[in-house]
Chains A and B, each alone.
Chain A
Amino acid sequence: MRASLGISAGRVRAVLRKELREYRRNGNIVSAMTIIPSIFLIQPMIQVFAVPSSASAALRHEDSLLYLLAIPAIVPALVAAYAVVGEREQGTLEPVLTTPVRRDEFLMGKALASLLPSTAVAYFVYSVFLACVALFANPSVASALLRWPEILAQVLFTPMIAGWSIWISLAISARSADIRVAQQLSMLASLPTVAVTSLIAFNVIRPTLMLALAAAALLLVLDAAAWRVVSALFNRERLIAGAT
């Protein structure tokens, strides 16, 4: 079955399935995907349960939950940074690249394999947080925090931020010669996104509907463009022979 751009959905699925199998059996990836989001959950939890009901009015003017958008910025970056350079280091890239798989298919499979679990983890953590707030927080605090626009923003921006983070990390992974360097650079590259979400969460930047729409449009364009850019950066000869 071929989708648009001449891409074989079967080969994308094959890469995705293989990646997910490897993740499940790799303790490091499972740890990274559970520990990092849990750390991000601690601060908002403490904040919410420490806030007295008298402060709930002030909470209505803040968007502190957007702080959790750092999860889709950081978690997939760690996983995607390994995607190409990791295969290169373990010697599995050469056999794969001698098959008919196209670089677009290979990269899309890798990107989806980072996107799906990290988005699921981010949604899960967010759901846990919302459930805790709804069940255990002071009712006035809970009603101040559980606002549909913010929940909607979280749901919509999570995959878009993750996508951007993934393409940046894949670009780094395709041009790196060492896994650790790729992961460190990917973490650094995800910091600007974390900074923006943090500035919104801490009310330095006031979120508005127009700002949200503009940010969403920008992220969508960047995600689509990044796929093409990363595909162009993916050079078989450089990856196999270490030369251009």
Chain B
Amino acid sequence: MDCQDGANSAGAALSVRGLGKRFGDRVAFEDVSFEVGAGEVFGFLGPNGAGKTTIVRTLGTLIKPTCGSACVAGILLTPENEEQIRRHISVMPESPGLYLRLSVAENLGFFADLYDVPDPRDRINRALRAVRLTDRADSACGTLSKGLRQRVALARALLADPEVLFLDEPTAGLDPAATRDVHKLIDDLRKRGVTIFLTTHRLEEAERLCDRVAILNTTLRTIGRPDELREQLFAKTLAVRTLAPLQDPGRLFAGLAAVDGWHRDGPAGYILAVSEPALAAPAVTRALVSAGADVLSIREPHHSLEDVYLELIEEDEEASLA
């Protein structure tokens, strides 16, 4: 039952090797491999239809993979092990999926019974406290706002004390205050050592919450820490802005060993390709001052995770057009 078959690493909370799923001729995702360490918050990004939800459903034992192998919570994903896996995970789907005629406590009580949790009343109270909904325990779920329903769904996911928690777009459609609450809850879960697999469209959310992210567009495009991905994808540069255009920028920058190349960025702006921005900046400043230029700013441009994401997705779109 353990993941000791050589294809998947023992010890990882999630380990996926060459996983793929087809629905007839349609490829939902293919050749996906990654590992998620215990206690890690792992972000899964991708455009609509990229296969994010299908991967969550596959790892959550709802859908059978067409090929590849996976270990979930240290258990090999096979039809025989599905029930065992479900005892160690929780999945919060994009839609909260609550019984609207039942109260919050009744919804949670039902799921506590399905998970066979010991002392369900205590577990429900703890889950409600974690999402700060104790005072709404007796409210019918149909009377709650979308943000509160999302919190109930999160409380439901916490009931079983899961080793791995799958959150599929947990902040989709929420207002900023409700989004902040969900982020805080995810932070709290991280502190408790829960492994979180988070799919999201919100890149700033992934950047803020995730230790590592993967970008999926049917196949896995890249994986790593957000800062690693920025470094992989974007050359290191310095953005220079002067009061007036330089007289002979080509000669000025060519004479600097720290600068590998340059191009204009507006009438009095220059982007310099450098290998070490921190070392290059003082040399560039000295050269500009000695050339008599009035320097307005020299800075290292910041590339967000959104830039990484858009760069990769645009590459894919260009490749598909070609």
Contacts and interface: CB of A to CB of B under 8 A. Distances in A.
B5 interface: no
Contact of B102 (A21, A95, A102, A236): A21
Contact of A101 (B63, B91, B99, B114): B114
Contacts of A99: 86, 111, 114-115, 160
B57 A240 contact: yes
Contacts of A17: 110, 113
Most buried by A among B83, B153, B160: B83
Given A18-B102, A21-B102, A90-B100, A97 B110 contact: no
Contact of B62 (A15, A90, A98): A98
Given A22-B99, A237-B63, A94 B113 contact: no
A172 to B, nearest CB: 22
Contacts of B92: 95
A207 interface: no
Nearest to B160: A99
B35 interface: no
B293 interface: no
Interface string B46-83: 00000000100100111110000000000000000001
B115 A100 contact: yes
B91 A95 contact: yes
A204 interface: no
A93 B96 CA distance: 11
B298 interface: no
A91 B114 contact: no
A95 B156 contact: yes
Contacts of B23: 241, 243
Interface bracket on A: 20 to 34
A136 B251 CA distance: 116
Contacts of A11: 113-114, 116
A11 B61 CA distance: 19
Contact of B54 (A21, A25, A92, A241): A241
Contacts, number: 89
A91 B93 CA distance: 9
B95 interface: yes
B62 A237 contact: yes
Given A18-B102, A241-B54, A243-B23, A94 B62 contact: yes
A100 B116 contact: yes
Nearest to A238: B63
A171 to B, nearest CB: 21
Most buried by B among A10, A100, A243: A100
A242 B253 CA distance: 61
Interface in A101-121: 101-102
B106 interface: yes
B281 interface: no
Contacts of A96: 114
A29 B237 CA distance: 67
Interface in B88-104: 89-93, 95-102
A175 interface: no
B111 A95 contact: yes
Interface residues of B, number: 35
A25 B106 CA distance: 13
Given A236-B62, A237-B62, A237-B64, A14 B83 contact: no
A100 B87 contact: yes
Given A94-B97, A97-B62, A241 B114 contact: no
Interface in A212-241: 236-237, 240-241
A243 B26 CA distance: 11
A98 B61 contact: yes
Contact of A241 (B63, B111, B116): B63
B62 A26 contact: no
A18 B110 contact: yes
Given A95-B153, A98-B86, A100-B86, A8 B116 contact: yes
Contacts of B83: 100, 102
B24 interface: yes
A241 B66 CA distance: 14
B164 to A, nearest CB: 11
Contact of A92 (B60, B63, B97): B97
A243 B91 CA distance: 20
A21 B93 CA distance: 24
A22 B102 contact: yes
B95 A91 contact: yes
Q: Which 5 A-B pairs have the closest CB atoms?
A: A14-B113, A99-B114, A98-B91, A25-B101, A91-B97
Given A22-B99, A236-B63, 10 more contacts: A10-B116, A15-B114, A18-B110, A21-B101, A21-B106, A22-B101, A25-B101, A98-B61, A98-B86, A99-B86
24 contacts: A10-B113, A18-B99, A21-B101, A21-B106, A22-B99, A25-B101, A90-B97, A91-B95, A92-B98, A92-B99, A94-B57, A94-B97, A95-B97, A98-B60, A98-B62, A98-B89, A98-B91, A100-B86, A100-B114, A100-B116, A101-B114, A240-B57, A241-B57, A241-B63
